[in-house]
Structure 1
Amino acid sequence: MFALAAALLFVLALIFQIAGVAVGTVVTVTTLGIAGLLCVALHLMGVGAGWTLKR
């Protein structure tokens, strides 16, 4: 799930970079890139990999 979120953040960052768009001072290409890297790191750690029911 985090890998999908990272891919979406990277696509948004790429589109913002190509179009030269910035949404305020908080959401920039850099913040989207860092958020994407955080999602990749969480994915590689195994967070959100899935839940199993123990019976």
Structure 2
Amino acid sequence: MLAIAGAVLFVIAFVINAADISTNAIFTPTSLMLLGLALLALHVAGIGSGWSTGRTRRR
């Protein structure tokens, strides 16, 4: 789920950059890209990748 949110942020950053839209300091394409990279890093680390059930191994 975090990877999808990161991809959406990348698309928004690309559109802002491609359309040359002037935004305030918070929503610059660079800050959105960095936020997207942080979300992708969390996804790769296994955080937010899905619910884990308390599976136990039977012998």
Q: Counterpart of 1:49 in structure 2: which amino acid?
A: S
| Equivalent-residue separation in structure 2 for 1:22 and 1:37 (angstroms) | 22
Structure 2: where are the runs of 5+ without partners?
Answer: none
Q: Secondary structure at the match of 1:4?
A: helix
- Report the TM-score, using the length of structure 1 for normalisation: 0.87
**Are 2:48 and 1:51 aligned?**
no
Report which of the two structures shows the higher radius of gyration computed on alpha carbons: 2
- Report the TM-score, using the length of structure 2 for normalisation: 0.82
Once the two structures are TM-superposed, the CA of residue 52 in structure 1 deviates from its matched residue by: 2.8
The residue that corresponds to 2:34 in the other structure is 34
Task: After superposition, give the CA deviation of every residue in 1:12-48 in whole Å (9 maximum; x if it has no partner).
Answer: 0000000011331221001000001001100100001
Superposition CA RMSD, Å: 1.4
